[in-house]
Amino acid sequence: MEKENNAKEGIKGWISPAKYGKFGIERFAWILMRITGLGLLAYFIGHIIETGNILSGEGAWNSMLELTQTTEGHIFLALVIGMCVFHTGNGIRLMLVQMGYGIGKPARPDYPYKPQSLNMKGKACIYATIGIAALAMWYGITVMFG
Amino acid sequence: MIMRESIVMKIHYGTALGAVFLVAIHIMMRMTQDFHESLQYENVIANYEMIGYAILLELILILISVHGFNGLRVILLEIRQGQSYEKGVTYGCIAAMIALVVYGSNTIISVHLGLL
């Protein structure tokens, strides 16, 4: 039991650099999924409160717009777009994996015990999702600054 | 009330897919005109006054609130476990979700009905 408790790293386990070298891009996707999820939830709460300003009339709405429609505001929104696209793409990959797609066939565990599920298809999906998120951010920037 | 975790995860995935579809429509609505122009007070009010768009916003609000706060619950339960902690996290997330839905619904309904 004590051994189990010692193994609990909590939030420190997320940021341990040793884990990234050991588990590769899948680990990076795992942590990014959680960071983007928390970021999007924070943005969503802020967005609901921000749009609630409309009830205070045109003046309050316009002063809120002055705060958000700035260069910093647009960069922040571009980050939100990137987080949203990554979270969506990686989420769809995880749903497919949980349904059994793309995880390979079961095989005898031989040394060096590489899991079948952590294969090139999964890695390619993660890289593609990061690429699409970057493209979406770029498109968002062209719309907002255009 | 105890719900099986497998059911909760199905709800999590269902709300995610629904939200992706509806948020895509919500963003495309901003693209029907110039982005900055679409955020002007009159245009936003006109959006809220359309019954279809008001329903869309309400659905997005509910789907993302359920998905977001369940995601937060899952993250918090991954970090630490324990009977009272898990209960506290679950009920805390449900309460926060309800509060956000009520706050957002108040905005949508009030503007839609013209109660400004």
Q: Which two tokens stand for residue B3?
A: 């719900």
**Model ipTM value:** 0.94
CATH assignment of the domain containing A51: 1.20.1300.10
Please answer whether residues B94 and B69 qualify as being in contact, where contact means their C-beta atoms are separated by less than 8 angstroms.
Answer: yes
State yes or no: cis peptide before A109, omega within 30 of 0: no
Flag whether A5 is in a domain: no
Residue with tokens 């009272």: B84
CB B60 within 8 A of CB B66: no
pLDDT tens by residue, A61-104: 999 999 888 999 999 999 999 999 999 999 999 999 989 888 88
Q: Flag the least confident range among A70-79, A109-118, B46-55, B100-109.
A: A109-118
**What residues of chain A have any CB closer than 8 angstroms to a CB in chain B?**
8, 10-11, 34, 37-38, 40-41, 44-45, 48-49, 51-52, 54-55, 57-58, 61-62, 65, 69, 84, 88, 91, 95, 143-144, 146
The total number of structural domains in chain B stands at: 1
Query: Each residue of A3-27: pLDDT tens digit?
Result: 555 556 777 777 776 666 667 888 8
- pLDDT tens-digit readout, B58-116: 999 999 999 999 999 999 998 888 999 999 999 999 999 999 999 999 999 999 999 87
Q: Looking at the predicted structure, is the pLDDT value of residue B36 above 90?
A: no
> What is the number of structural domains in chain A?
1
Given A34, A45, A55, which is nearest B100 (Cβ)?
A: A45
Contact of A69 with B36, CB cutoff 8 Å? yes
In a domain, A4, yes or no: no
Residues B36-60 as b/e (b if ≥16 CB within 10 A, e otherwise) read: eeebbeeebbebbeeeebbebbbeb
**Domain range spanning residue B49?**
5-112
Q: Does the beta-carbon distance from A55 to B36 stay under 8 Å?
A: no
**For residue B20, what is the nearest residue in chain A, using CA coordinates?**
A88
Which of residues A110 and B49 earns the better pLDDT score? B49
Instruction: Give the per-residue pLDDT at A3.
Output: 54
pTM (two decimals) = 0.90
> Which residues does chain A have within 8 Å of residue B100's beta carbon, measured at their own beta carbons?
45, 48
Can you give the residue range of the structural domain that contains A122? 13-145
CATH number at residue B28: 1.20.1300
Measured in whole angstroms, the distance separating CA B5 from the mean position of its chain's CA atoms is 21
Residues of B with CB under 8 A from a CB of A: 13, 16, 20, 23, 31, 35-36, 39, 41, 44-45, 48, 61, 64-65, 68-69, 71-72, 75, 79-80, 100, 103-104, 106-107, 110-111, 116
Candidates A34, A41, A55; nearest CB to B68: A41
